[in-house]
Chain A
Amino acid sequence: MIINNSPALAPLLLLAAAISIPVLALLSKRLAYLTAIATSLVATAVSVLNLWRVWESGPLRYHFGGWTPPIGIEYVVDPLSAFVALVVNAVALVVLWHAMGLADEEIAGRAVPYYSLVLLLLCGANGMILTGDLFNLYVFLEIFSLACYGLIGIGEKQAAVASFRYLIMGTVGASFYLLGLGFIYIVTGSLNMADLRNILPLVYGNPAITAGLTLIVVGMGIKMAIFPLHGWLPDAYTYAPSTTSALIAPLGTKVAAYVIIRVLFYVFDAGYVSGALPMTDFIAWLAAIGIIYGSVLAIAQNEMKRMLAYSSVAQIGYIGLGIGMANPFGFIGAVLHIVNHAFMKGTLFLVAANLRKNSGHSDIARLDAAYRKKLPWSMAAFTLAALSMIGLPPTAGFFSKWYLALAAVDKGNWVFLAVILVSSLLNAVYFFRILERVYLLPPPAGEKEGEGFPLKSKTGAGLGLGEEKWGLMIPACVLSFCLLLLGIGNAGIVKGVIQRIIPIGM
């Protein structure tokens, strides 16, 4: 039955579609687009199915080709992996929908490879999330990364350099991961996560294990862009096509964060990584510095995408801090923020894309109230996402902050508490700077309304919505509306998903 194979369905389907899209494009480009959307939709549906199955009957273990682990490759769908996979697929679906309206201009002539690469990226992400095998994870990591480099590279001129830089750093990261994996394999003789979980406690004293874990965390830390390994991120997000930024910013770093959580707390255990080896403390302090550093640099930026990129560095710090505090509330905060940040940054980058599409730039200094009049709904979505970033209730961001604050108090670390709270003020500074401009700053006198807006078509305008294209506006609104739902329904996620899998030993 196909339903029994549901754990493997999403990555395989995405891979198959990614390969067939260039072929389909020979028939009709439209068909290629639709295939991409449809596949993404099916992947999301499969994730929902997986999550439902996990809820009904507990974790699913799927053995590829019938080979039993530790020899064969195993896929494990537990509440965490099912949920993160769902978030990744759902956000990607909305971004792909948005990309339909953008593809003709931003990535003109390269839309087909774009769609193909996006599906490849999603295939990699799904595989990394669902696999129960560390080496298989590496394979998918490479698929994911290569797709990423390509997606960034198809942007503006500087994108090639940014992409190359990311390629170098990303490859170093992946190599570190592989090296660490080798260390662990030599000592334990296994690559299966569940198997390792049983073997590792016997060999915790072995320095090779310590070295292996450190290499894995550093390697994944680069992918996650945790301070000070974030160097590739600002350029990559800024120069990539807007639609790529909107895809990679919410998803790229989150998958790496998920892998770190998986390795630290489910392959190793919380007691070891926070006790015998002060790994988590180290992560927490770096993350705390990263939060402040990213926020301050975000304030200093004059270009919206670049500002959002630095803001991502800070927000990844939230996740890192939650992981690093290694207590139940910290874990809840980290996982919840993976979700919340995916939706927040997705919204913000989509709005930045709409801005660029409409006015050809997203310089903060040039924004004024005319931009809001042109894009009222996009700006409303932006406002909601900004409030969530600042952490005002009842949006999702408030609850990330709340759980992380609880975690900091539980840990008795007042510095972390202060960092979490101060950073939300810093967020307020750089978001209200934009909000003030788009809501309150009148356009410079002399410039006629609409000047500087090379509007190409006016579909939608006649319908009273005032925005150029529904297809660009609605996805942003959908994502930002989800922020409200995630906020008021957060207890459902926490109790239904996260609390079921609080790692043992916290």
Chain B
Amino acid sequence: MTAVETYSSILPFYAVAVSLVAVPLILLSARHANLREFWTIAASLVKFGVVFLLLPGVLAGRVAGFTLWEISPGIALALKADPFGVFFALIASGLWILTSVYSIGYVRGLEEHKQTRYFASFAVCLSATMGIAFAANLLTFIIFYETLTIATYPLVIHKETKGAIAAGRKYLIYTLTAGLLLIAATAWTYRITGSLDFKAGGMFGGASFSPEAVTVLFLLFLGGVGVKAAIMPLHSWLPTAMVAPTPVSALLHAVAVVKSGVFGVVRIVGFVFGPELLHRFGLNGLLAILAGATIILASLLAFRQDNLKFRLAYSTVGHLSYIVLGAALLSPASLTGSLLHIANHATMKITLFFCAGAIYVKYHKENVSELDGIGRAMPWTMGAFTLGAIGLAGVPPMNGFVSKWQLGLGSLQAGEIAPLAVLVLSGLLNIGYFAPIVYRAFLKKGAGSRGEASPAMVLPIVVTAVLSVLLGLNPDLFFHFYSMAASISGSILGGSGP
């Protein structure tokens, strides 16, 4: 990629605004379910289209910027569609289309209450996610990050049971606290730099730090984004939040919200601190240890979960830390792998959650121990599930293999053997906790009826599974994820990487 050229364009703003505009429309058509769902689908298509329009510019090394207005003296509410932002926005907005279709099948299949609130909150969440992706500075990032927190709350408590309300409380305590740490860290950063603009390679420049100060600042930031990224020991809200409807778990708690967390981690590592500063104070080592421990512990905990969604949640916790680990290693291949895993984990995990939801809607089964013979009853669904599962274990030709390969390579580039060992072990553990599900589904006999869930649910499942295979065969397919990831990693390391 050549030198970055910035041009003014309103497209990033549209990408954020589209679903926000859809919210009043959704609310107004509360009594006409089909019209209401039309707005959701339309908004998701337009949003994805807008983000896709930004792609050619990014590939040509041009960055679209849009400044809305000053939000604090000297700090603007500004959006910038840099490659990393577009990368994340593509994934989130693309999967929103599928999730919307799936949601319709899900909420109608279960005759859920308060569907209007559900779809409206979903739309706000996606706006906030786009805002996070395109935030040009830390203050803009915080504003959208907090908006995402609050917009997700109605979805977490959607069932309005005692358990859901308790989960909502836990969710708020974790995420609001995280937001406060982020504000503290940002205020401190502003004091040091006088600017909050993200900059590839770090924004602190030549600022002088004492080791204690930089460590505390890093931990504040990490606390801020680490909660949504579910880095242990900040992860426990995520399994609790599985009480939400499955499409919410699928898009928000496997893609949009948690990926906003890891997106934040990469932003902090690559665009706030920068490799040089992290290496100098050994902070990336700290991060790598946290991530490595999370990967192993989460995989082990996944074994103990009988509830399918809980098992998937712990699996998510582990895989999020793959991304964090890749960022912490700070070598070209590890960063590339880390970014690719943002996309690849998204397509695979959303497939698995979709499957879990389909099983629940059709057969009202939530636990792994009840899944005997479900593969024969729902061959398409469980076929897709199997593909997603082997992908997460890192088996070729799935896309999970590609990112894992890069991560392993990156670990060697960084001159470390331990991360590689963690990755291999985690792969085995993944097989360990997914194999029983597949085994039960296909090889054990179950009683009862056969039949898939509604087409609105099966179609998205098949699409995401196929996408996972295709992206494994050719990571650059359609969206140029691989070349974007490589160029982002290049811009962060700026040639100064090890």
Comparing A30-38, A145-153, A392-400, the segment that makes contact with chain B is A392-400
Interface residues on B, range: 20 to 34
B45 touches A (CB below 8 Å): no
A323-363 contacts to B, CB under 8 A, are: none
Contact check, B72 vs A392: say whether CB atoms are below 8 A apart: no
Q: What is the bound-complex CA distance between A392 and B183, given in angstroms?
A: 11
How many residue pairs, one in A and one in B, have C-beta atoms under 8 Å apart?
A: 76
A409 touches B (CB below 8 Å): yes
Contact check, B71 vs A491: say whether CB atoms are below 8 A apart: yes
Shortest Cβ distance from residue B3 to the other chain A in the assembled complex, whole angstroms = 32
Contact check, A406 vs B190: say whether CB atoms are below 8 A apart: yes
B111-147 contacts to A, CB under 8 A, are: 139, 142-143, 146-147
B204-250 contacts to A, CB under 8 A, are: none
A428 touches B (CB below 8 Å): yes
User: Can you name the residue of chain B whose Cβ is closest to the Cβ of A406?
Assistant: B187
Query: Which of these, B71, B160, B176, contacts A428 with CB under 8 Å?
Result: B176
For A387, list chain B residues within 8 Å (CB): 150
Contact check, A393 vs B72: say whether CB atoms are below 8 A apart: no
Contact check, B191 vs A409: say whether CB atoms are below 8 A apart: yes
Query: Which of these, B72, B142, B150, B160, contacts A491 with CB under 8 Å?
Result: B72
Query: Which of these, A392, A403, A499, contacts B150 with CB under 8 Å?
Result: A392
Interface centre among B73, B169, B191 (most CB of A within 10 A): B73
Contact check, A390 vs B143: say whether CB atoms are below 8 A apart: no
Interface residues on A, range: 20 to 34
Contact check, A425 vs B176: say whether CB atoms are below 8 A apart: yes
A421-473 contacts to B, CB under 8 A, are: 421-422, 424-425, 428, 432, 436, 440, 442
Contact check, B72 vs A436: say whether CB atoms are below 8 A apart: no
B contacts with A: majority SS:
helix
User: Can you name the residue of chain A whose Cβ is closest to the Cβ of B169?
Assistant: A432
User: Can you name the residue of chain B whose Cβ is closest to the Cβ of A422?
Assistant: B180
Q: What is the bound-complex CA distance between A488 and B68, given in angstroms?
A: 10
Contact check, B180 vs A402: say whether CB atoms are below 8 A apart: no
Interface centre among A387, A393, A403, A495 (most CB of B within 10 A): A393
Shortest Cβ distance from residue B377 to the other chain A in the assembled complex, whole angstroms = 36
Shortest Cβ distance from residue B128 to the other chain A in the assembled complex, whole angstroms = 10
B439 touches A (CB below 8 Å): no
A contacts with B: majority SS:
helix
A380-408 contacts to B, CB under 8 A, are: 387, 390, 392-394, 398-399, 401-403, 405-406, 408
B298 touches A (CB below 8 Å): no
A490 touches B (CB below 8 Å): yes
Interface centre among B160, B180, B181, B188 (most CB of A within 10 A): B180
Contact check, A401 vs B73: say whether CB atoms are below 8 A apart: no
User: Can you name the residue of chain A whose Cβ is closest to the Cβ of B176?
Assistant: A428
A139 touches B (CB below 8 Å): no
B478 touches A (CB below 8 Å): no
Q: What is the bound-complex CA distance between A442 and B113, given in angstroms?
A: 14
Q: What is the bound-complex CA distance between A394 and B128, given in angstroms?
A: 12
Q: What is the bound-complex CA distance between A446 and B67, given in angstroms?
A: 55
A200 touches B (CB below 8 Å): no
Q: What is the bound-complex CA distance between A494 and B149, given in angstroms?
A: 27
Shortest Cβ distance from residue B420 to the other chain A in the assembled complex, whole angstroms = 39
For this complex, 5 residue pairs linking A to B, each with C-beta atoms less than 8 Å apart, are A394-B143, A409-B191, A421-B184, A488-B77, A491-B70
